[in-house]
Structure 1
Amino acid sequence: MSTVLITGANKGLGHEAARQLIAAGHTVYVTARDTGRGRAAADRLGARFVQLDVTDDASVTAAAKTIETEGGLDVLVNNAGIEPRRPDGGFIPAPEVTADLFREVFETNVFGQVRMLHAFLPLLRDSPAPVVVNVSSGASLMRDLIDPANPAHFYPDVVYPSSKAAVNMLTVQYSKAYPGVRINAVDPGFTATDLNFHAGTQTVEEGAEILVRMAQIGPDGPTGGLFDAKGTIPW
């Protein structure tokens, strides 16, 4: 069985992925920015808790040191992410998108994953079967967004899909740089979570399945790919 760390796991997809992995017999660290919410989630799940804010270098470094001290890590699930919305859940139209908004979203969705990879890959390389799962999105696929016949064409946001396209590139390039680590991206699908004001058409149980599946691949598993519930998604 593996030791797994999941970022942003006090609710939503991360919380459900933790539940499923614990049920499969794995040791799971759930992380959250808020210590109270994170500990409450860990207690509900029977997980371990470590405070971690992916936007803060010191927080990420401290979490890595804690987990190293407690025995190391086999699997990293980079799940933490944000999507910019108006208070009523509406999308922010392109004319209102600013560089500051891009910076805010990329700080979590992209730079946060880079921080995690930088801090935890040294631990993962000590594992006999190291795995990284980067949570991406179907909204990252430019071929779908540009195709008027594809439902994704009507998704209007500028910032979120740009951040997830960057996650795809991170996945490919890190997988080449670390050939001994299985590094893949996943698309959970349109899942009802706080991120989208619960507008998604899937349950968290359905959305988390691909995170859980890819977190459990072995040393002979794929690397450098994008996957959803149906299988491989061509880049």
Structure 2
Amino acid sequence: MNIYERNSEILFLYDAKMTNPNGDPDDENKPRMDYEKEVNLVSDVRLKRYIRDYLESKGYEIFVAKVDGQVVDATERLQRLLGREKLAALSQEDLGVILSRLIDVRLFGATMPIKAQEEGARGASSTFTGPVQFTWGYSLNKVELVRSNSITSTFAGRGGEGKGEYGTFGKDWRLYYSFLAFYGIVSGYRARYTRLTFDDVALLDEALWNAIPVIASTRSKVGQKPRLLLRVEYRDAYTFLGDLRGKVRISPEEGLRDIADF
């Protein structure tokens, strides 16, 4: 097994035009924002979801996924993966099977809680710390919400004589333009514990570049495009330079509507 025993640092830039890159469910699903700085934010969870969905579409097994189209908890996911009707704890052999089959665990790690099988018994848990981690992404430009955000839908309904129409109103929050930057790391030290391989890291590169245009195809996500992917690979598992986004600037930073504006 060709374990990835080196450090890497990742700079990933992409833009989003007339879209909602990452809605905030606590704020009417508006794009996540630092309102004081007028900066768009995208969580690492959103980026990892794109990567997981892309890898799953390519036929790779992942842990954080529906099973037969159904949402299941971690215990049931593990039971089905390992072919067990009951599961009280994970053996070393089980852990080996999990790491060999689930690429997202090798990349990002996972916490795997196991429910108690009997009343009064205690459950168990296993945790893998992933060698691949990302910060939250942020826009390098100041962003603006699209000023018109109301949408309407009309449905057939019942009027006074049994026929008619009724409408519903909703909000469709989008940004005019956001040029987003993510920083990530691959830890050679952590890689040995999840058995991350060089092939896995190559798949990560592929997924980062292809996932957004392939997977982000819902109505509010269309309009995003990768612009730069840089992965700096070191010779050892101890070297890091730090957040590469500090080396990137765009000018101008305000009033942007397209990549051609800077």
Same fold, TM-score > 0.5, yes or no: no
Select the structure that is richer in strand: 2
Q: Whose relative contact order is higher, 1 or 2, with alpha carbons under 8 Å and at least 6 apart? A: 2
TM-score (norm 1): 0.25
- Structure of larger gyration radius: 2
TM-score, length-normalised on structure 2? Answer: 0.23
